[in-house]
Amino acid sequence: MKVAKTINEVKMIVNDWKKQGLSIGFVPTMGYLHEGHGSLIIKARENSKVVVSIFVNPMQFGPTEDLDKYPRDLEKDSKYCEELGVDLIFNPEPGEMYPEGFCTSVDISVLSEELCGLSRPVHFKGVCTVVNKLLNIVNPDKAYFGEKDAQQLAIIRRMVKDLSMDVEIVGCPIIREKDGLAKSSRNTYLNSEERKAALALSKSIFAGKGMVKEGCREVDILLKKMKDIIDQEPLARIDYLKAVDAMTMQQVNTIDRPVLIAMAVYIGNVRLIDNFSFIPD
């Protein structure tokens, strides 16, 4: 396994693989890898070669968000990647990705104006810009993203389609802890009391799934039940809890199409997300 720090080095390695007729699977991450990332890497192993990027992207953090505190451990991440059969890690410095004079960004309307985009207004411009750059640098055949970040996945799929980018975007299921909490690098911020409180998210998700499976199609009824579960936890504060069209990310009143039910909840000062999707028969 190689670790590349520069764009030119990645391009040289990938171009050599391409000349050999090898397929490239790509997993973009911000590091501090866990089993959720691991599931993406394992799926990417269906290709001849696997590239993982580890880059905490400053462009997607707002001025009051946790850029400096975001967990980092390149040594641990590298060992994990090597164990999973990764061929190349791309670990650039911010100045490599955004050199002096950098002034281009990729923005997307409509899909970014709800859910996380509403409460984190700069976030998806930063995500789209860095993912666009990474896809151009790595030039993969397939790129893998987790369904936990469902709005991000929908936005990236839209961006790739709108910009006629020659890459297949593959969504992979949410990976959970044994007690149900969705795996996230931000879980490391939680103390023991907060970690227990965070289960309010998955309890609400599982209850909502059950209601929809049993036939509930009224969004107001569904969200009230889910909200009541979260509100029972004193440390929890809801940022949003909404049902949206899975394609457009616009709010719906009835589950009569593919729908995403998504939430962001603060546990203390830690913002966590979770979701589930439903496709009617």
- Tallying the residues shown for the chain, one arrives at 281
35 annotated ligand binder: yes
37 annotated ligand binder: yes
Q: At what angle do helices 123-138 and 150-162 cross, to 10 degrees?
A: 60
20 annotated ligand binder: no
126 annotated ligand binder: no
Measured CA to CA in angstroms, residue 155 lies from 111, 181, 275 at distances of 6, 24, 16
Q: Tokens for 126? A: 């930063």
What does the alpha-carbon distance between residue 271 and residue 253 come to, in Å, rounded to a whole number? 26
218 annotated ligand binder: no
Catalytic-residue membership of 123 = no
Q: Tell me the one-letter amino acid at 263.
A: M
182 DSSP β-pair partners: 176
For residue 259, the 8-state DSSP code is: E
Q: Which of 13, 14, 29, 37 does the annotation list as catalytic?
A: 37
Question: Nearest-CA neighbor of 259 among 204, 211, 206, 212?
Answer: 212
Q: Judging by beta carbons within 10 Å of its beta carbon (0-12, 13-18, 19+), is residue 135 exposed, middle or buried?
A: buried
Q: Give me Rg for the CA atoms of the chain.
A: 19
30 annotated ligand binder: yes
159 annotated ligand binder: no
33 annotated ligand binder: yes
Question: Nearest-CA neighbor of 91 among 58, 51, 41?
Answer: 51
201 annotated ligand binder: no
What does the alpha-carbon distance between residue 207 and residue 232 come to, in Å, rounded to a whole number? 14
152 annotated ligand binder: yes
168 annotated ligand binder: no
Sheet strands (E) in 147-252: 168-172, 236-245
| Residue partners of 63: CB distance under 8 A and separation at least 6 | none
34 annotated ligand binder: yes
- Dihedral of alpha carbons 210, 211, 217, 218, sign: negative
149 annotated ligand binder: yes
83 annotated ligand binder: no
Q: Binding site for ATP: residue ranges? A: 30-37, 146-149, 175, 183-186
Q: Binding site for (R)-pantoate: residue ranges? A: 60, 152
Q: Binding site: residue ranges? A: 30-37, 60, 146-149, 152, 175, 183-186
Q: Binding site for beta-alanine: residue ranges? A: 60
**Residue positions annotated with a catalytic role:** 37
